Amino acid sequence: MAGLSIAESLNSPTALGGPWKVYGSARRSIPTWFPSSLLHSYISFDAASLPDTRRKLSPLSAEITHLFWVAIQVRETEEQNILVNQTMLSNVLHVLTSGSGSRLRHVTLQTGTKHYMGPFDRVLPLSQTLSLPFREDTPRLPCPNFYYAQEDLLASHSPPLAYSVHRSSIIIGASTRSFYNFLLTVAVYAAICKHEGLPFRFPGTRYAWEHFVDMTDARVLAEQQIWAAATSRAKNEAFNCTNGDVFMWKTLWKALCDVFGVEFVPFDENEEFDVVVAMEGKGKVWDEIVREHGLERTKMEEITCFGAVRYVLSFGFQHVSSMTKSREYGFFGYADTLKCIRLWVNRLRNMKFIP
Residues of the domain holding 70: 2-174+215-244+320-337
- Active site annotation includes 147: yes
134 within a domain of the structure (yes/no): yes
80 within a domain of the structure (yes/no): yes
Among candidate residues 56, 116, 147, 282, the one labeled active-site is: 147
Domain count, the chain: 1
pTM reported for the whole predicted model: 0.95
For residue 124, what pLDDT is reported?
Answer: 46
How distant is the alpha carbon of residue 229 from its chain centre?
19
271 within a domain of the structure (yes/no): no
Coil, strand or helix at 151: helix
For residue 119, what pLDDT is reported?
Answer: 82
60 within a domain of the structure (yes/no): yes
100 within a domain of the structure (yes/no): yes
For residue 123, what pLDDT is reported?
Answer: 45
- Active site annotation includes 235: no
Q: What is the CATH number of the domain that holds 169?
A: 3.40.50.720
29, 67 Cβ separation under 8 angstroms: no
For residue 193, what pLDDT is reported?
Answer: 97
DSSP structure class, residue 77: S
pLDDT tens digits for the chain (355 residues)? 999 999 999 999 999 999 999 999 999 999 899 999 999 999 999 999 999 999 999 999 999 999 999 999 999 999 999 999 999 999 999 999 997 889 999 999 999 999 999 887 664 455 556 788 999 999 999 889 999 999 999 999 999 999 999 999 999 999 988 878 999 999 999 999 999 999 999 999 999 999 999 999 999 999 999 999 999 999 999 999 999 999 999 999 999 999 999 999 999 888 889 999 999 999 999 999 999 999 999 999 999 999 999 999 998 899 999 999 999 999 999 999 999 999 999 999 999 999 9
Q: How far apart are CA 144 and CA 79, in angstroms?
A: 7
50 within a domain of the structure (yes/no): yes
57 within a domain of the structure (yes/no): yes
Please compute, for residue 153, the number of CA atoms within 13 A of its CA located in the half-sphere on the CB side: 22
* β-bridge partners, 248: 212
Residue 108 class from Cβ within 10 Å (0-12 exposed, 13-18 middle, 19+ buried)?
A: buried
Among candidate residues 23, 42, 114, 311, the one labeled active-site is: 114
